């Protein structure tokens, strides 16, 4: 008999056939090879069963069942009969050899999981040749990591698993399968359910009275993937430090009742859905339970910034506390040297901090004080101003010099832009009593008159001219005015451009 043929190789297949090819035996047994017997292994009995004969070292086995797995071997035949069988072929499934890629999202087109739990995208896939598989989210290719695993069985399924989900994993995931016959993709949406984030602040406390107030806030940025059930509102008397329920609401506004007059409270709000309760949004500061609109606090002591024989100009700072209601104006009170009581000089119906009191008596000495006004009425009077004598500017009264801290008129010091060769010039009024000392400086160095620079000054004015400016003259110029009452400093900028600019 002939020797053993070469091991059969699967060279082609389809859903109902498998084509084999092998090499003749090295030993023909002393007689020519007349043909070959092809055998199939029965998967049940494990016996080898003859399926066909062929004269050539190749065969096409037909009428196979699609999806079944087959294995073959061959024997060479001469006139002495069949020889030893070959080694068996690889196992081969009868299936179509060329199939465009496909996938099936049945049951997994939208996944909903709870935060902290895994999300498993299990997608059936197929195609011949076996397709390559790509997962992505928002255009970014997903690769396996400590958080994500991808398990693909080439012609069966691809499984992407997010081991521990968070809300940030929500979104649309794309799976694409591709072979040389084409490609196909599909989108799976993932929703991760979690408790909501804290309500959005600030937590406003409004309409405060001695026994109630109103809270207002904004919904959370993230509802956790579900509708909110309600908001949980709590209050804390700061003297006890214990949080107590105030109520529940589906609105973002809630009236808190049961406050105790004069007690200080803080409030907090939590959002609740089926997954749990959010972190709290807490008021930034404590609120005292009292009726609104106290009178304003004490305004700043007024400064005398200018005067003449029948008028005084005053300036002051607003009170630190507006009493819970906006400042609507001020009352200016005056007291002459011979007066025992303060009297109203004028009333200002807007929240400005500067005014002029007119109709005063020449050579009389005055003091002034300020009351801030809100809806509750006038507040406590300020400390009185320094005494001032109504007289023409820059004169002595019975040998007494009046005092006023310096004030530089900044409207005369606006920044300028010039070209090389042009002059820099400022003429600035400066108020104050006694007349202030005035000094210009540039880059920390005092400016004095020179061939190019001329500085001249009067009691209430200073003039500077810098001729034929160069690029080095550009920068910040500072004017400082000083007298016994204080100091004022003002800056301005000079930009020097090239002449051809």
pLDDT tens profile 128-147: 888 999 999 999 999 999 99
DSSP code, position 301? P
**What is the pLDDT at residue 400?**
47
Q: How does the average pLDDT of the chain come out, rounded?
A: 92
**What is the pLDDT at residue 379?**
94
Q: What is the mean pLDDT of residues 7-32?
A: 93
Q: Please state, in angstroms and rounded to a whole number, the distance separating the CA atoms of residues 182 and 462.
A: 86
**What is the pLDDT at residue 229?**
97
List, as one string, the DSSP characters of 108-136: TSEEEEETTS-EEEEEEEEEESPPEEEEE
| Residues across the chain | 501
pLDDT surpassing 70 at residue 291: yes
pLDDT surpassing 90 at residue 265: yes
| Residue 128, C-beta contacts closer than 8 angstroms, at least 6 positions apart | 95, 96, 97, 98, 99, 155, 179
10 Å CB burial of residue 26 (0-12, 13-18, 19+) is exposed
pLDDT band at 396 (very low <50, low <70, confident <90, very high): very low
Of residues 97 and 354, which shows the higher confidence score?
Answer: 354
pLDDT digits (tens, 9 = 90+) for 184-236: 999 999 999 999 999 999 999 999 988 999 999 999 999 999 999 999 999 99
pLDDT digits (tens, 9 = 90+) for 415-468: 999 999 999 999 999 988 888 999 999 998 999 999 999 999 998 899 999 999
| Residue 127, C-beta contacts closer than 8 angstroms, at least 6 positions apart | 99, 100, 101, 102, 155, 177, 179, 181
pLDDT band at 308 (very low <50, low <70, confident <90, very high): confident
Q: What is the mean pLDDT of residues 313-331?
A: 94
**What is the pLDDT at residue 128?**
86
**Domains present along the chain, CATH in parentheses:** 9-93 (2.60.40.10), 99-193 (2.60.40.10), 200-288 (2.60.40.10), 303-401 (2.60.40.10), 406-497 (2.60.40.10)
**What is the pLDDT at residue 402?**
60
10 Å CB burial of residue 151 (0-12, 13-18, 19+) is exposed
pLDDT band at 399 (very low <50, low <70, confident <90, very high): very low
Share of the chain above pLDDT 70, in %: 98
**What is the pLDDT at residue 398?**
43
pLDDT surpassing 70 at residue 253: yes
pLDDT digits (tens, 9 = 90+) for 159-180: 999 999 999 999 999 999 999 9
**What is the pLDDT at residue 106?**
84
Claim: this prediction has a pTM higher than 0.85? no
pLDDT surpassing 70 at residue 297: yes
Q: What is the mean pLDDT of residues 1-27?
A: 93
Our CA angle for 262, 266, 267, nearest 5°, is 125
pLDDT surpassing 60 at residue 397: no
Q: Please state, in angstroms and rounded to a whole number, the distance separating the CA atoms of residues 386 and 368.
A: 8
Q: Please state, in angstroms and rounded to a whole number, the distance separating the CA atoms of residues 35 and 49.
A: 17
């Amino acid at each position: 008999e002939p020797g053993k043929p070469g091991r059969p190789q699967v060279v082609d297949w389809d859903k109902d056939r498998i084509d084999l090819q092998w090499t003749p035996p090295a030993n023909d047994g002393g007689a020519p090879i007349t043909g070959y017997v092809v055998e199939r292994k029965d998967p049940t009995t494990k016996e080898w069963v003859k399926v066909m004969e062929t004269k050539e070292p190749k065969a096409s086995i037909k009428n196979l069942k699609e999806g079944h797995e087959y294995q073959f071997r061959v024997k060479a035949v001469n006139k002495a009969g069949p020889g030893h069988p070959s080694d068996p072929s690889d196992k081969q499934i009868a299936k179509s050899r060329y199939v465009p890629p496909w996938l099936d999202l049945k049951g997994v087109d939208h996944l909903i999981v709870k935060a902290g739990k895994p999300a498993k995208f299990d997608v059936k896939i197929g195609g011949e040749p076996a397709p390559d598989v790509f997962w992505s989210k928002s255009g970014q290719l997903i690769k396996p990591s400590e958080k994500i695993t991808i398990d693909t069985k080439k012609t069966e399924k691809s499984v992407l698993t997010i081991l521990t989900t968070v809300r940030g994993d929500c979104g649309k995931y794309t799976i694409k399968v591709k072979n040389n016959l084409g490609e196909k993709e599909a989108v799976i949406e993932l929703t991760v359910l979690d408790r909501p984030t804290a309500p959005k602040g600030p937590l406003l406390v409004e309409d405060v009275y001695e026994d109630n107030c109103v809270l207002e806030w904004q919904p959370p940025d993230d509802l956790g993937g579900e509708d909110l059930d309600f908001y949980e509102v709590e209050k804390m008397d700061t003297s006890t430090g214990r949080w107590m329920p105030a109520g529940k609401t589906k609105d973002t506004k809630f009236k808190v009742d049961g406050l105790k007059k004069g007690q200080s409270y803080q409030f907090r709000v939590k959002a609740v859905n089926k997954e749990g309760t959010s972190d709290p949004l807490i008021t930034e500061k404590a609120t005292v339970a009292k009726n609104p609109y106290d009178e304003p606090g004490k305004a700043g002591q007024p400064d005398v910034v200018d005067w003449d024989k029948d008028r005084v100009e005053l300036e002051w700072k607003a009170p630190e506390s507006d009493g819970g209601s906006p400042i609507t104006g001020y009352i200016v009170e005056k007291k002459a040297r011979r007066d025992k009581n303060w009297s109203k000089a004028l009333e200002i119906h807007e929240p400005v901090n500067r005014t002029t009191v007119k109709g005063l008596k020449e050579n009389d000495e005055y003091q002034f004080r300020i009351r801030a006004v809100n809806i509750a009425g006038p507040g406590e009077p300020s400390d009185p101003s320094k005494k001032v004598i109504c007289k023409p500017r820059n004169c002595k009264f019975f040998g007494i010099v009046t005092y006023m801290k310096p004030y530089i008129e900044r409207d005369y010091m606006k920044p300028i832009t010039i070209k090389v060769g042009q002059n820099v010039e400022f003429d600035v009024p400066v108020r104050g009593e006694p007349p202030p000392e005035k000094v210009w400086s540039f880059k920390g160095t005092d400016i004095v008159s020179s061939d190019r620079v001329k500085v001249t000054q009067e009691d209430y004015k200073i003039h500077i001219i810098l001729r034929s400016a160069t690029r080095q003259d550009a920068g910040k110029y500072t004017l400082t005015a000083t007298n016994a009452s204080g100091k004022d400093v003002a800056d301005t900028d000079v930009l020097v451009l090239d002449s051809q600019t």
